[in-house]
Amino acid sequence: WFSGFLDYEFSPENQFSISYDKMNSKNYITDGIEDRIKLKIENQFKLFSGSMLLQSSISLSGFFNRHNDYALHPVEKYPVRIKMESITNDKWLADFFISCRVKSLQIKYEMKNLSNVLFDYLSDDQKDYSIQFNPYYPQMRRLASLSIYWKFLD
């Protein structure tokens, strides 16, 4: 593996980061992604006289030079040789995150694979931004989650 990471702070509230990972392995126990790049913008603000912390980020992840010669069989647990062109295409995925915290209560909303969320919302079902690493498992389409964390102080 070769990895690089760069973090730049525009201001105390705004940050930009970029990371790059390079894998050069012919071993069958890999995900088959040779190059990964991730661009991320993060924000952090205090509102209401500093009593609420608002955090957000948007990121763009790229998976390049994908090759998938082997997959791990989910039942027998041994490598199986496969050839599928559909799972070797380069992909870009966008993610979004927002969180607000007041004292011991945090509310967080995340959307993974934002492209699929937007195209489904716009009723454009002709485009599919799913990603698949292994043909034995379903495609990763999207994920939207709402989390509420409340730490009781007693």
At 52 the pLDDT is 93
At 88 the pLDDT is 66
Percentage of the chain lying above the pLDDT 90 cut: 37
At 97 the pLDDT is 93
Q: Where are the beta strands (DSSP E) in the chain?
A: 2-11, 14-22, 33-47, 52-66, 70-72, 79-81, 91-102, 105-112, 143-150
CA distance 99 to 82: 41
At 53 the pLDDT is 94
At 129 the pLDDT is 67
At 84 the pLDDT is 64
Percentage of the chain lying above the pLDDT 70 cut: 81
- Average the pLDDT over 31-36 and give the result: 78
CA distance 108 to 149: 8
- Average the pLDDT over 101-124 and give the result: 83
The answer to whether residues 77 and 110 touch, using CB atoms and an 8 Å cutoff, is no
Q: Which residue has the higher pLDDT, 103 or 153?
A: 103
Q: Which residue has the higher pLDDT, 73 or 86?
A: 73
- Average the pLDDT over 44-65 and give the result: 91
- Average the pLDDT over 121-137 and give the result: 68
> Strand 52-66's sheet: what is its strand order?
2-11, 14-22, 33-47, 52-66, 91-102, 105-112, 143-150
